[in-house]
Homo-oligomer: A and B are copies of this chain.
């Protein structure tokens, strides 16, 4: 029997595939594709193959059926099963020795396209080279790894009303009938959710925007990326706070924008007559310092934008959590001249894995933005979560959750501030935050002693998120942000006490 001049790799595939019929299927398929069972070979009957391997006939039949349905074999009535696959001509490509990757990270390394036989002609675009030139770890900072107690940016999933959220998800899945599954959904995202966001913004932030000018994004960073791609040409000046959120830096740098560094004090960004047409700013709570922009400065920024014909991108990343003090109006609510894009996110108010952010756009920019998003995502992703969030907001669950978290986070922040106050006096200065999910601290001593202290804390898992990466060049001051949202008051107190012990040990 010519068939078994070769070994069927049944045993190997059985280990890999787990089921007998898959092992038959895969070993036969490999034999067919490799040419070991040439076109027209008659396969043994399922009965005899089954007998040979000591399996039931049904196992072989199922494998033959799969091969048949995929065209690898044909069945001729009464005469059996024949292989039906002709391998391609054996050209040089096919038999070329597998090469190891000729150019690793070619895009980052080379700067001009230069075709040659062995390599690739791709230098990548200027955009790609700029993107990849940013440091490997850009986006991660010291202390941001999850192991550190005071890592910033975390929320407390223990307090999240998981059961209530899950029931929204269940309801959404239940009602996602077949008709909804098959539908292409709009680039800009679920209309109901956009409407709920519009209401929430009107009520909570004084922003009047219709849902049609709101575009949902996969987290707020997608909005930043798209805006840079639409608006930042290489060489264009873009004003960024210093320090600032590193996502801004990455997107602006990738686009080739020339960063104009705007200084920040305890009242937030200091307005200037920047020679620029684009500003990214965090007025409600400067990132990372937490400074709240005064109304005078808000007005000044809008003035500048009006005079320059500039656009202001206002990132309101966590100001839903305000524990006291005067509420501040977003720039967007004061914007009468369509000069402000407002960016928000549910990563902090809900949870990080949700990936729902949004941009509130001036009317003239909303269609360009929508079309830019549609190039990458013609139909919105994450529809289940969008629908569930809409339900959660509609039922009042979201509002209840927010109010509850405000109380919890407020107490936790107080605990953290108390702990910071008990550290040796010469170490940190800080303006007590009264909103958000982190407290910024500035180091009063030498850079060296800061590094020693931070490293000592990191090594015991008591680290915080160092702020060095938020500065454009050399940091003007050492410092960082303590996250507290994910910790109970007791955990915070205990952690700060241990940090105090470290400070004492280092003689600070």
Q: CA–CA, A88 to B295, complex, Å?
A: 5
Verify if A219 is at the interface (C-beta below 8 Å from B). Answer: yes
Taking A125-B231, A324-B71 as contacts, is the C-beta distance between A218 and B221 under 8 angstroms?
A: no
This chain: copies in complex? 2
Does B99 contact A337, Cβ atoms closer than 8 Å? Answer: yes
What distance in Å separates the Cβ of A507 from its nearest Cβ neighbour in chain B?
A: 37
Does B127 contact A229, Cβ atoms closer than 8 Å? Answer: yes
Contact among B170, B182, B407 with A155 in the assembled complex (CB-CB below 8 Å): B182
Across-interface contacts of A94 in B (CB, < 8 A): 299, 334, 336
Taking A120-B311, A311-B122, A355-B379 as contacts, is the C-beta distance between A182 and B157 under 8 angstroms?
A: yes
Q: CA–CA, A173 to B222, complex, Å?
A: 25
Taking A327-B70, A364-B104 as contacts, is the C-beta distance between A26 and B203 under 8 angstroms?
A: yes
Does B71 contact A326, Cβ atoms closer than 8 Å? Answer: yes
Taking A94-B299, A170-B173, A378-B139 as contacts, is the C-beta distance between A131 and B371 under 8 angstroms?
A: yes
Give the residues from 305 to 331 in chain A that come closer than 8 angstroms, CB to CB, to chain B. 306-311, 322, 324-327, 329
Verify if A448 is at the interface (C-beta below 8 Å from B). Answer: no
Across-interface contacts of A457 in B (CB, < 8 A): none
Contact among B96, B180, B353, B382 with A184 in the assembled complex (CB-CB below 8 Å): B353
Residue among A89, A166, A230, A383 facing the most chain B CB atoms (10 A cut-off): A230
Give the residues from 141 to 192 in chain A that come closer than 8 angstroms, CB to CB, to chain B. 154-155, 157-158, 160, 162, 165-166, 169-170, 173-174, 176-185
Verify if A132 is at the interface (C-beta below 8 Å from B). Answer: yes
Does B225 contact A124, Cβ atoms closer than 8 Å? Answer: no
Q: CA–CA, A121 to B169, complex, Å?
A: 44
Q: CA–CA, A329 to B93, complex, Å?
A: 14
Does B338 contact A101, Cβ atoms closer than 8 Å? Answer: yes
Q: CA–CA, A70 to B23, complex, Å?
A: 64
What distance in Å separates the Cβ of A211 from its nearest Cβ neighbour in chain B?
A: 15
User: Interface with B: A109-117, A462-470, A488-496, which one?
Assistant: A109-117
Q: CA–CA, A303 to B372, complex, Å?
A: 35
**CB-CB nearest in chain B for A233:** B125
Q: CA–CA, A87 to B206, complex, Å?
A: 12
Does B277 contact A88, Cβ atoms closer than 8 Å? Answer: no
Q: CA–CA, A382 to B189, complex, Å?
A: 13
Verify if A279 is at the interface (C-beta below 8 Å from B). Answer: no
Verify if A232 is at the interface (C-beta below 8 Å from B). Answer: yes
Q: CA–CA, A346 to B372, complex, Å?
A: 23
What distance in Å separates the Cβ of A436 from its nearest Cβ neighbour in chain B?
A: 14
Does A177 contact B162, Cβ atoms closer than 8 Å? Answer: yes
Across-interface contacts of A183 in B (CB, < 8 A): 352-353
Across-interface contacts of A307 in B (CB, < 8 A): 117
Does A180 contact B376, Cβ atoms closer than 8 Å? Answer: no
Taking A154-B182, A182-B157, A295-B88 as contacts, is the C-beta distance between A218 and B381 under 8 angstroms?
A: yes
Residue among A302, A351, A377 facing the most chain B CB atoms (10 A cut-off): A377
Taking A158-B178, A379-B355, A384-B385 as contacts, is the C-beta distance between A309 and B231 under 8 angstroms?
A: no
Contact among B119, B126, B374, B383 with A139 in the assembled complex (CB-CB below 8 Å): B374
Taking A157-B179, A162-B178 as contacts, is the C-beta distance between A309 and B84 under 8 angstroms?
A: no
Q: CA–CA, A180 to B154, complex, Å?
A: 13
Verify if A128 is at the interface (C-beta below 8 Å from B). Answer: yes
**Apart from A88-B334, A92-B303, A107-B230: 15 A-B pairs, beta carbons within 8 A:** A69-B407, A71-B322, A89-B299, A91-B303, A93-B334, A97-B336, A125-B229, A125-B233, A127-B229, A128-B231, A132-B368, A166-B173, A180-B353, A219-B378, A384-B385
5 CB contacts below 8 A, A to B, read: A71-B325, A86-B326, A93-B299, A99-B336, A131-B375
